Chains A and B, each alone.
Chain A
Amino acid sequence: MPADNTTAKKTPLYDVHRELGANLVDFAGYLMPLRYASETAEHRAVRTGAGLFDLSHMGEIFVEGPQAAQGLDYALVGEPSAVPIGRARYTMICAPDGGVLDDLIVYRLAEERFLVVANAANIATVHRALAERVASGFQAEVADRSDEYALIALQGPQSQAILSQFTDAPLDGLRYYAWLSGRVAGVDALIARTGYTGEDGFELFVAAADAVRLWNELALVEGVLPAGLAARDTLRLEAGMPLYGNELTAETTPYEAGLGRVVKLGKPGDFVGRKALAAYADTPPGRTLVGLVARGRRAPRKGYEVVRADGTVCGVVTSGAPSPTLGKPIAMAYVDSGAAEAGLAVDVRGRHEPVDVVDLPFYKRS
């Protein structure tokens, strides 16, 4: 249990986590629940029922103004101007050299108003880059309002049935990557059908002051298990979703990560990184992100080397863990193009543990 004198920030739900006996860790400068009891039980709850996550460490950056859409088209690799009001898109913000600064979800709130959700570790970077890029010639304001918002996610196949007990909002018609506003348990919320678990689910953006009330209502429901970052990590890994800092970094291009589709080279107008990204789009990447399943019981971990049958290094693991759903260790790794063949192994602390290369994702909901 970390001491109270840490410099890490607390989310509005910090006291709730402590009361629940969470194992709290400093994650990206925030004290976050790693797990409450068993991370495997939390993982399974999300796959079979529902899990409740505090994601208040994520960044909420608003872009607003007559040219907000055009400004974001310039600042990001996607095309927010083409996103209808009420919908959201997964996208990225890249450096001029094509490296990924962060992966984002952009929600179009109104014709001239967008919500950009950034990873906790990158809030300042994204805010600064957006402010510079959007302010450099577009009529729009960029405001980081992360501290004003809490983000609570309810994820799992039972999410809709559970959430509908607390809201009159028409969840049935709410599509994946769409949002609507409504009242949930008496609290004003932006209800988004998004998530990072590979399951159906909702992300609820609420005022920081309303977080505890909403959490306590949802957490009381039979079958809802509070879930921490450990479960979130294995859930997203099974779903083949990249994590910034692991699969995505400033030294990675979207193409290497297998996410070239998010780069809208065909959109009108210039955007930051266009030239570099266009060149990458035309050349096969030197390395590609692959899925690995270990044959043994040892899990490949971030930073472990991938080796060929002759022992030569041909890649590096970016994320790895025992998969609760598959019952075996799984990993994502960057592997030299052409090397993703049979006979690969991962160097687990000096021993070469055989792995099989598989298509991502490891898990797809039925």
Chain B
Amino acid sequence: MSVPEQLRYSEEHEWVAGLGNEDGVVTIGITAHAADALGEIVYLELHRGEGETVEAGEPCGEIESTKSVSDIYAPVSGEITAVNQAVIDEPKVINDDPYGEGWILKVRVETEPGDLLDAESYGKLIEES
């Protein structure tokens, strides 16, 4: 299962791209491992929209597959700057391209909890699960 080197990961299987960017905006999605474990994703709902804030470690949405429902946890705290309407309209895109077209939201980081994993640690985490 692919675990791109340049990303950071939460233990709840979200990925974060662009930490350390000048504008402070990161892109967030769920990992290929999570998408595969869920199965075909049929529904995605975010509890907050653009301009609202998310809190690291708190649920910020729900993702539903043919088999199950899971919470999406915000891996960082900050203000939502963009929501990917395309995956809300067609959530299966997350299965097809979890690290690309399947991104879920962008957040301007206020605090990053500091417990995000690098690719190697996340790779180990999913190997053990």
Contact = CB atoms under 8 A, between A and B. Distances in A.
Interface of A: 23, 34-35, 38-40, 230, 234, 297-299, 301, 321-322, 349
Contacts of A40: 40, 66
A234 B66 contact: yes
B34 to A, nearest CB: 13
A38 B96 CA distance: 11
Given A23-B36, A349-B62, A321 B43 contact: no
B42 interface: yes
B67 A230 contact: yes
B64 A299 contact: yes
A26 to B, nearest CB: 13
19 contacts: A23-B39, A34-B67, A38-B40, A39-B67, A40-B66, A230-B39, A230-B66, A230-B67, A297-B42, A297-B43, A298-B43, A299-B42, A299-B69, A301-B68, A301-B69, A321-B66, A321-B67, A322-B66, A349-B62
Contacts of B64: 298-299
Contacts of B68: 301
A349 B68 CA distance: 12
A138 B66 CA distance: 47
Contacts of B62: 349
Nearest to A35: B39
A337 to B, nearest CB: 29
A208 to B, nearest CB: 29
A35 B36 CA distance: 10
Interface in B11-58: 36-37, 39-40, 42-43
**Is chain A's binding surface mostly helix, strand, loop or mixed?**
mixed
Nearest to A230: B67
Nearest to B33: A1
A234 B69 CA distance: 16
Given A230-B39, A297-B42, A321-B67, 14 more contacts: A23-B36, A23-B37, A34-B67, A39-B40, A230-B67, A234-B66, A299-B43, A299-B64, A299-B69, A301-B68, A322-B42, A322-B66, A349-B62, A349-B69
B69 A39 contact: no
4 A-B pairs closest in CB distance: A322-B42, A297-B43, A322-B66, A40-B40
A35 B37 CA distance: 10
Contacts of B39: 23, 34-35, 39, 230
Contacts of A34: 39, 67
Contacts of B69: 299, 301, 349
A43 to B, nearest CB: 9
A34 B37 CA distance: 10
A35 B66 CA distance: 11
Most A Cβ at <10 Å: residue of B36, B39, B62: B39
Contacts of A39: 39-40, 66-67
Nearest to A234: B66
A230 B37 CA distance: 12
Nearest to A38: B40
Contacts of A349: 62, 69
A297 B62 CA distance: 13
